[in-house]
Amino acid sequence: MDDLRTTLLTLPPDDRRDFAHFIQRQRRKASGRLDSRLFELLVQPKELSTEKLIAKLYPDEPNPVAYYALRKRLLRHLMDYLLLRQRQHDMTAAAAVRGQVTLAQYLFDVGIPRLAWATLRKAEKLAITGEQHEPLNAVYNLQIQHADSPHAPPLAEIISRRHANKKAADEEERANIADSLLRLRLREARTQGRATVSVDAMVQEILAEYDLKDAFTRSPALLCRLLSIVRNAMLLRRDFTTFAPYIERSYKLLERRHGFAPAQRGYQLKLLYMLAHTLYRARRFADSVTYLEQGRALLAALPGQQFTEFEPRFTFLLAANYAFLRRNKEGIVLIEKTLKRASTLNQRDDLTARFQLSFHHFVEGQFAKANQALLSLGRTDHWLEQHLGLEWLINRNLGELIIQHELGHSDLALTRLKAIERGIRERFPATEEAPEGGPYQPVLRYLHLVHEIISEPDLVQQVDFATRVSQIPNFLTTQQEDLQVLSFYAWLRARVKGRPYYEVLLELAEQQ
């Protein structure tokens, strides 16, 4: 695999044209034509071997040494182009502050200290407003370096502000470390499934270790980071109804007291998404849509491309809400439009979209399309478990099992069912402390009932079977449970009641 080709192919068509023009502007007369030619060869649909590339570039006499030098030069062009594009599109406060610092340094170098100091004051104000502690540190260092100027404030004042900023920057760095550390531990916990994890103790330990317990409301940046920490814990504990009012209150308080400066749009988008996602999990679908529409409107109004990673996440969550607001077909349209731009999606977003699309098609009774969406995941069970966790894998396999049964493929459904049971039993054998299946013991009970339906379809009409379905543990029906898991239970209950699946699902989701 050619890494340079792989990198170049990530450029959208418009950027490829711009990059080709950029090369032409940068190239030297002799070698520049080869720069452009190599770029054209690397981005063509069919990949060429190194030997063929050299032959096309140097037809008279193959020159591997010149070829590899040419590749390095093309890579330098690409890095220069991406840096220039980033500066053009990056409208954040950090980029603006760095630009002001660069200008101030130039003005000092050419002997215009008055204008240099005016530029540094603008940079300082912009960095403080946008809570850009790292660039602000560069501002203060340059101010200290030129504090002997008659245009400078007293050195003691600069040093005092610099120390205060370092303290805030250190707090933000500690929050970053705490967030990453908690994500790592939660990811390890998810890999093991619903094993017993003391989430509260884990969070409190990390916050105490990094001295962050009292830092929640000091800034949009820090609030966003720390809410992210708490949200990760809530996701594992499924305490959505408790967290939803907390994050909504925090967001509205911050919006009312401080608002969001243009430089803080990234934090605002993260908070809006966290809020909308939590409200969705708490089954407040209309409220979730309200915040998602705010976020999408904000994204549409923002210049540049620095926040494009939010767009698919807002779209998928909006589609998920639509499913529970009787607007499921609109959700399908949203996801399909996003998948048509698959080249712009990262791997996890792409898999999420396909899995979610399977659910939406299933709701409409389009079982063949639901099956096709699952097949398009194109990943093995082992890969999914390693990268997305055991919970994700079990949900995917349960979906596949039910779809195969609805398609009339009873043998395939039973094969998948037995594979799920075997995997859970092997991972969680019976012990003195827990029954077979451990935290997934209710799933085994669910699978047993599904097995009975597949083997004897008429059982659903018997009172005894309906009673056993109603006695499935609260694992599947409590308001704190994942809506995806609830959808599996809704299918079983719809079978017993002889009613449309979608109607039963909506009834269960609306129960408070």
Is domain 169-368 given the CATH code 1.25.40.10 in the classification? Answer: yes
C-alpha–C-alpha distance, residues 7 and 337, integer Å: 25
Span 264-293, average pLDDT: 90
Q: Which of 61 and 257 is assigned the larger pLDDT?
A: 61
**Ranges of H-type helices in 302-389:** 310-323, 328-339, 347-363, 367-375, 381-388
Please state, for a pLDDT cut of 90, what percent of the chain lies above it.
Answer: 33
When mean pLDDT is compared across 4-13, 37-46, 209-218, the lowest value belongs to 209-218
> What pTM, to 2 d.p., does this model score?
0.64
Tens-place pLDDT, residues 393-416: 999 999 999 999 999 999 999 999
Give, in degrees to the nearest 5, the angle at Cα 52 between 38 and 54.
55
Tens-place pLDDT, residues 25-70: 775 544 457 888 889 899 888 888 999 899 989 988 889 899 999 9
Both tokens of residue 244?
A: 């939803």
Both tokens of residue 380?
A: 């093995």
Give the phi and the psi of residue 58 in degrees, each rounded to 5: -130, 70
Q: Is the pLDDT of residue 501 over 50?
A: yes
Question: Tell me, what DSSP letter sits at residue 149?
Answer: S
Q: What is the pLDDT at residue 30? A: 46
When mean pLDDT is compared across 48-52, 76-80, 231-235, the lowest value belongs to 231-235
- Using alpha carbons, select from 41, 15, 76, 20 the residue that is nearest to residue 344: 15
Q: Which of 148 and 347 is assigned the larger pLDDT?
A: 148
C-alpha–C-alpha distance, residues 354 and 379, integer Å: 12
Q: Which of 11 and 512 is assigned the larger pLDDT?
A: 11
Both tokens of residue 73?
A: 């030069």
pLDDT bin (cut points 50, 70, 90) of residue 190 is: low
Q: Is the pLDDT of residue 144 over 70?
A: yes
Extents of the domains making up the chain: 3-89, 93-153, 169-368, 379-512
The secondary element (H helix, E strand) that includes residue 178 is helix 155-191
Q: What is the pLDDT at residue 315? A: 93
pLDDT bin (cut points 50, 70, 90) of residue 87 is: low
Query: To which residue do tokens 């079978």 refer?
Result: 495
